[in-house]
Amino acid sequence: MRKRVKPDWERLYEIAAAQDGYFSTRQAADAGYSRPLLCHHVRAGRLRNIRYGIYRLAQFPSGDHEDLVVVWLWSDRQGVFGYETALALHNLSDALPARVHLILPLAWKTRRFRFPRGVMAHYDDVPLSERTWFGAVPVTSPARTVNDCAAAHVSPELVGQAIRQGITRGLFDAETIAAAKSSSHAGNKKEKRD
């Protein structure tokens, strides 16, 4: 049986502050807040219920990528943003993804989910060495991002632009993105022939 924790507003605030003002019911429980107590604070105007299992401090300042924090919390903090979403976050290329690309653990591939609107799921186990943080959310490293985009046949122009920008900015070297580089060149040659 789980030990009952006394509600600790400061602890809940610390958790939420690190996540642009958002938190999950599981995180709230760790700070001593039950679902009924969360509902009480929603009615009192201190919290907002954003979607099932996700809340926000009502008076917390808005963040630039709150939508990603909500998706990450929906994934129980297991997802990693990648592909075109990561290109945009790393400011590599002119990528403007129409959907949020979220990489979930391979073990989740057999689960049945109701995905948040606008989320495209990919499945892979992303090692810590291939992750970085963008504000409150994890994102694939620049090199992993470029390699994933090339393997997924993202526009060769975007991949080529990301390669040039990444090398110029010192985010990776040509060796770490060799597969993406050869894929990008092959795509450019194919398009020129068409």
Domain match, 17 and 72 both: no
Domain match, 87 and 155 both: yes
Contacts with 92 (C-beta within 8 Å, 6 or more apart), sequence order: 142, 145, 146, 161, 162, 165, 166, 171
Supply the pLDDT for residue 51: 94
Of 139, 137, 136, nearest to 88 by C-alpha is: 139
Supply the pLDDT for residue 184: 59
Domain match, 37 and 78 both: no
Residue 164's domain comprises 66-193
Domain match, 186 and 151 both: yes
**105 domain residue, yes or no:** yes
What does the chain come to in residues?
A: 194
Domain match, 113 and 175 both: yes
Domain match, 33 and 113 both: no
**30 domain residue, yes or no:** yes
Give the number of domains in the chain: 2
**1 domain residue, yes or no:** no
pTM over 0.95: no
In contact, 82 and 144? CB cutoff 8 Å? yes
Supply the pLDDT for residue 44: 97
Domain match, 52 and 112 both: no
Strands (E), the chain: 22-24, 47-51, 54-57, 80-81, 100-104, 119-123, 131-134, 137-140
Domain match, 53 and 75 both: no
Q: Tell me the β-bridge partners of 49.
A: 55
Domain match, 108 and 188 both: yes
Tens of each residue's pLDDT in the chain, 194 residues: 556 679 999 999 999 999 999 999 999 999 999 999 999 999 999 999 999 999 999 999 998 899 999 999 999 999 999 999 999 999 999 999 999 999 999 999 988 878 899 999 999 999 999 999 999 999 999 999 999 999 999 999 999 999 999 999 999 998 888 877 776 554 444 433 33
Domain match, 26 and 106 both: no
Domain match, 121 and 165 both: yes
Final residue in a domain of this structure, among 18, 35, 57: 57
Of 76, 81, 80, 124, nearest to 99 by C-alpha is: 81
Domain match, 47 and 78 both: no
